[in-house]
Structure 1
Amino acid sequence: MTYHRITSIDDKYFKPLHELLGTIFPPEEVLAYELWREPLQDESIHVYAALHGEEVVGATEYRYYPKLRVAMTDFTIIGKPSLGIGRFLMRSRQKDLDRLAAESGTEPIGMFAEIYDPYRAASHEFGGVSPMNPYVRREVLSHMGYKKLDLEYVHPSWDHEGQAVTELDLGFLPADEELSQVDASLVAAFLEGYYSALPNKPEAWLEMVESIKRKDSIQLLPL
């Protein structure tokens, strides 16, 4: 399997990757095809496809914020079962994140991820293939060591319509597995930076960020 970075929508592997996104995630979670052009040119955004021969069978997107010493996993996609895609992506991503941290001279605190909560979601029909079922994904992330932040989480929809998307938790994979809380100022800074590319933010998101800023820390709970 090949770990292939995509830096342009003109890359021949981007179209099948985008189609895979549409198979796995609900429409409000998928950025429109043409709107990917600028983000893919951003050196800080890392989009990689897992290639099985010439076929895109998985993908992941992530970022590392040296000043905050945290990473963010935007998505991880497994397109086919029984190929070891998930482990391949996780290991390849970690090696790359280790490189990015070393190059910046920083020691990572952990990695954020938005995680669906199927126990309160209205629909569980998305997922595409069984490894991407929201129940399966959540359990796997829990086994990896992810925890959830103790807050009522919402995020702006990626369709640029400014809707508040709920039914997700903001997860965090701490480098120190004994960590029980994170600084609220870190969470607020991360969210404001991460969503700076979206001009339309719902009032619920703005209120959530302001409430985070009023806290000293946020507890990490079992996922």
Structure 2
Amino acid sequence: MDYIRIQSIDNPLFKNMHDLMKTIFPPEEVLAFEKWAGPLEDPGIHVYVAVHEGEVVGTTEYRYYPGMKVAMTDFTIVGRPGLGIGRFLMRGRARDLERLARESGTEPIGMFAEIYNPAQAAYEFGGVYPMSPFVRREVLSHIGYMRLDFPYVHPSWEEDGAAVGGLDLCFLPQDENLTELDASLAVAFLTEYYSALPNKPDEWYTMIEDLKQKSKLALKPL
């Protein structure tokens, strides 16, 4: 299996990757094909595919914010079971994030991720069982992700200003004994991350204002 970076919508592998995303994720989680042109050319956004025998069988996107010393895993897709794709993508991402932190001269404190709440996710996720929210949540719990204890919504990637629920904002702390996170870090991260979407719902702004009133956010088990 090969770990290959995608940096243009003209790369034939990108169409395969985008088709895989549309198969796995609900529409509000998938940015339109042509709108990927800018993000893929952004040096701070890292999009990689797992290629097995010429086929895109998995993909992941992530970024590192040296100013906040945190990473974000935008998504990870396992397209086929039984190939070890999830671990392959995780190890490739981890090595690359270590490089990015080293080159920036920073020591990361952890990584954010939005994780589906199985009790609220009715979507089939392409019928690929490794992508089941029940399976994914347990796997991510084993890895060490914790749920930030506040009600979470995010703006739709369909750019229609809708609020998307059914997920938790989670954090993988570098220090596994960490039990809380500064609320100001969550605010700074979410503000920066969703600056790419100018049309945000009122529910998102209310959530941000509520977070600004807090000092700490508890990290809870998934």
When normalised by structure 1's length, the TM-score is: 0.98
RMSD (CA atoms):
0.7
Q: Which is richer in helix? A: 2
Runs (4+) of structure 1 moved beyond 4 Å?
none
Structure 1 222/49 Cα, relative in aligned 2: closer, same or farther at 3 Å?
same
Alpha-carbon distance between aligned partners in 2 of 1:100 and 1:120, rounded to the nearest angstrom: 35
What does 1:52-131 correspond to in 2, within 5 Å? 52-121=52-121, 123-131=122-130
Alpha-carbon distance between aligned partners in 2 of 1:154 and 1:53, rounded to the nearest angstrom: 38
Alpha-carbon distance between aligned partners in 2 of 1:71 and 1:53, rounded to the nearest angstrom: 30
1:52-111 deviation digits (Å, cap 9, x = unpaired): 121101000000000000000000010111001000000010000000000000000000
Counterpart residue type for residue 49 of structure 1: V
Number of residue pairs matched by the alignment: 222
Cα shift at 1:128 = 3.5
Matched, 1:182 2:218: no
Report if aligned partners of 2:26, 2:123 keep a CA contact under 8 Å in 1.
no
Matched, 1:34 2:27: no
Counterpart residue type for residue 67 of structure 1: G
Counterpart residue type for residue 178 of structure 1: N
Cα shift at 1:124 = 3.4
Percent sequence identity over aligned pairs: 66
Match of 2:20 in 1: 20
Alpha-carbon distance between aligned partners in 1 of 2:44 and 2:31, rounded to the nearest angstrom: 18
Cα shift at 1:127 = 4.1
Alpha-carbon distance between aligned partners in 2 of 1:176 and 1:12, rounded to the nearest angstrom: 40
Alpha-carbon distance between aligned partners in 1 of 2:140 and 2:120, rounded to the nearest angstrom: 17
Report if aligned partners of 2:183, 2:214 keep a CA contact under 8 Å in 1.
yes
Report if aligned partners of 1:72, 1:111 keep a CA contact under 8 Å in 2.
yes
Counterpart residue type for residue 78 of structure 1: V
Report if aligned partners of 1:47, 1:60 keep a CA contact under 8 Å in 2.
yes
Runs of 5+ in structure 2 lacking a partner?
A: none
Counterpart residue type for residue 137 of structure 1: R
Alpha-carbon distance between aligned partners in 2 of 1:199 and 1:115, rounded to the nearest angstrom: 23
Report if aligned partners of 2:2, 2:51 keep a CA contact under 8 Å in 1.
yes
Counterpart residue type for residue 137 of structure 2: R
Partner of 1:196, secondary structure, is helix
Partner of 2:38, secondary structure, is helix
Matched, 1:147 2:159: no
Alpha-carbon distance between aligned partners in 1 of 2:163 and 2:120, rounded to the nearest angstrom: 16
